[in-house]
Amino acid sequence: MKYAWYLFVCFPVLLQAQYKYGLTPVTLQQYQQQVKANPEKELVNLASTIPGIVLDIRYATTNNFTGEVIYTLSRAYARKPVAEALKKAQEEFSRHGVGIKVYDGYRPYSATVKFYEVYRDTTYVASPYKGSRHNRGCAIDMTLVDLKTGEELKMPTEYDSFKKEAWPTTPVKDPVIKKNRDLIISIMHKHGFKVNASEWWHFDFNGWQKFEVMDIDFEELE
């Protein structure tokens, strides 16, 4: 009886709090049904799919703009077509002696809500009213590493910088940094990705509109 009272009184309040920005993301059960109907919607583990890819999942650490651990697992997922395109990009990068290091891939909607409530500037943080391309499994945060040394290539800013220098259109004086930024953007563009207007490291997959916003924890995908 007490449990029934809890469901009747408290559950609507919890649900309202969870979806207080008016967006109802896809749950695990809904996602599983969608994948059965369309295998292209599967979230693929990038480390298991792309040879040589390096992970540095910042939101599984405190080394991010929130200063908090957001993910309990250090994982990078993306929708199947995104992973396939990224694999082709990795192959081309390797011919230049560099490889992909991923900072973030698919991001649960609940994390986007957290980010927005920490920093409400939607120039850099996605609006929870719409959700992000990360929430759809269609965005990759990344940089490049030297295949011989494993060191990151020099880029205009650190990851998650909120400075204008992070914008891909901001002029760069250092020729090495400009060359590196041009390389990552050009090859990713060639393989179906568009760089974000305020983040040189953020690439959206063309056709992201076909995929739904999800709120599925990494543990549920294991």
pLDDT (tens digit, 9 = 90+) per residue, 30-50?
A: 999 999 999 999 999 999 999
Angle between helices 2-9 and 11-18 in degrees, nearest 10: 40
pLDDT the model gives residue 18: 55
Residue 126's pLDDT band (cuts 50, 70, 90): confident
Predicted TM-score (pTM) of the model is 0.90
Two tokens at 172?
């760069």
Of 142, 57, 53, which is closest to residue 90 (Cα–Cα)? 53
Does the pLDDT value for residue 108 go beyond 50? yes
Judge residue 12's burial from the number of C-beta atoms within 10 Å of its C-beta, 0-12 exposed, 13-18 middle, 19 or more buried: exposed
pLDDT the model gives residue 102: 98
- Identify the three-state secondary structure at position 126: coil
Domains of the chain: total: 1
Measured at the CA of 170, the angle between CA 166 and CA 174, to 5 degrees, comes to: 90
Give me the half-sphere count of Cα atoms (radius 13 Å) on the Cβ side of residue 12. Answer: 4
Domain membership of residue 52 as a residue range? 2-221
Rounded to an integer, the average pLDDT of 136-164 is 97
Judge residue 174's burial from the number of C-beta atoms within 10 Å of its C-beta, 0-12 exposed, 13-18 middle, 19 or more buried: exposed
The CATH number covering residue 142 comes to 3.30.1380.10
Angstrom distance (rounded) from CA 124 to CA 145: 24
Angstrom distance (rounded) from CA 54 to CA 63: 17
Rounded to an integer, the average pLDDT of 3-19 is 44
